[in-house]
Amino acid sequence: MIYQVHHLHCGSMCPFCAPLFGQKGLKAEVVCHCLLLETDQGLVLIDTGLGLQDYLCAEERLGSFITRFGTIQQSLNLSAVGQIQKLGFKATDVKHIIVTHLDFDHAGGISDFPQAMVHVLSSEYNATQHFSYKNKYRYRTQQFNKHRHWNFVEPIYGESWFNLEKVQGFKIFQDDILLIPLLGHTEGHCGVAIQYQGQWLLFCGDAYYSHQQLNPQNKLPALNLTERLFAHNNMARIRSLKQIQQLALEQPQIEIMCAHDPVELKRYQT
C-alpha cells in the first residue's frame, strides 16, 4: 500500500542554449525530479538524481566534460539523502530504489543507500557493461558498481496497461507500482506507474524532456535534436513518445511527468 508520494528536487543543471531543452533564453534549467513513496514495505525511491559523492568529488565521479559543461548547482541539500532527511526520514529507511535508467543524473544517489534493493531492467544494466562512445559519457559506473542488492527485471512478457505493453508489476507492492518499458533514450529505459489514492501517476524518466511534448501539435525542433543525439535508438524513442502522447490524450486523468522539466516539478512542490 502506498501512503504518500513526495516529489524531490535531487539536482539542478544549467547548461547553455536553453532551446536545446525546450526552454527560452540562454541557460536552461534542468532539474532532477525524483519521487519518494511511503509504503508498507518502507520507503521507495524512484530515480536518485545526483548523489553526495557527485557533489563532493565531481570530476572523479562525473568526469571533466560533464562537470564543466553541465553547470551543476553545487548543493548537498539537492541530493536524495538531503531531500529525504528534510522530510524527517533516514537514508536507511529507503528499502527499494526503482531506476528508469542508469544515466549519471538518475543513478548518482544509489551509492548513498547501500542497503536498498535496486530494481532495473536487465537490458539497461547490461548496457552499462558495454561501453560505446555515447555510453562512455552517459554511464558513470563508479556510482553503482559496488552496490550489492539488485533485482534485474526481464521485460519479455508482461501485461498491458492502457496502451502500453510488457508491463511488469511488483507483487510486494500489490501491483500498485508498475515498471513500463519506454525504450529508446537508453537500451533499457522504462517508466514507473504508481497507483495512489485511486489515481495513476506515470513517471516517464527521460522519455520526454518538456511538458510541451505531451501535445504532439507543439513543434520543438531544437529539443528534438537534443533527444535524437542522446538516444540509444531514436526510432524507439519516437515510438515511446507517441505512446505517451496518446495516453495523455485518451486518459487525461493520469498524471504524467518526466525527470527534468522544472515546470512539472514546481507543479507538485507548490
pLDDT tens sequence for the chain (270 residues) = 999 999 999 999 988 889 999 999 889 899 999 999 999 999 999 999 999 999 999 888 998 888 877 788 889 999 999 999 999 999 999 999 999 999 999 999 999 999 999 999 999 999 998 877 778 889 999 999 999 999 999 877 889 999 999 999 999 999 999 999 999 999 999 999 999 999 999 999 999 999 999 999 999 999 999 999 999 999 999 999 999 999 999 999 999 999 999 999 999 986
Please state the domain count of the chain.
Answer: 1
Position 127 scores a pLDDT of 95
Closest CA to 38 of 101, 96, 121: 96
Contact 256, 248 (CB under 8 A): yes
HEC letters along the chain:
CEEEEEEEEEEEECCECHHHHCCCCCECCEEEEEEEEEEECEEEEECCCCCHHHHHCHHHHHCHHHHHHCCECCCHHHCHHHHHHHCCCCHHHEEEEECCCCCHHHHCCHHHCCCCEEEEEHHHHHHCCCCCHHHHHHCCHHHCCCCCCEEEECCCCCEEECCEEEEEECHHHCCCEEEEECCCCCCCCEEEEEEECCEEEEECCCCCCCHHHHCCCCCCHHHHHHHHHHCCCHHHHHHHHHHHHHHHHHCCCCEEECCCCHHHHHHHHC
Q: Quote the pLDDT of residue 81.
A: 97
Which residues, listed in sequence order, are joined to residue 254 by a DSSP beta bridge?
A: none
User: The domain spanning residue 165 has which CATH number?
Assistant: 3.60.15.10
pLDDT digits (tens, 9 = 90+) for 64-119: 888 877 788 889 999 999 999 999 999 999 999 999 999 999 999 999 999 999 99
pLDDT value at residue 16: 84
Q: How far apart are CA 139 and CA 144, in angstroms?
A: 10
- Alpha carbon distance 51, 60 (integer Å): 13
Domain membership of residue 120 as a residue range = 2-269
Query: What is the predicted pLDDT for the residue at 270?
Result: 64
Q: How many CA atoms lie within 13 A of 71 on its CB side?
A: 12
Q: What are phi and psi of 9, to 5 degrees?
A: -105, 100
Residue 19 phi/psi, 5-degree rounding, is -60, -25
Cα 219 from Cα 8, distance rounded (Å)? 29
CA-to-CA distance for 63 and 68, rounded, in angstroms? 9
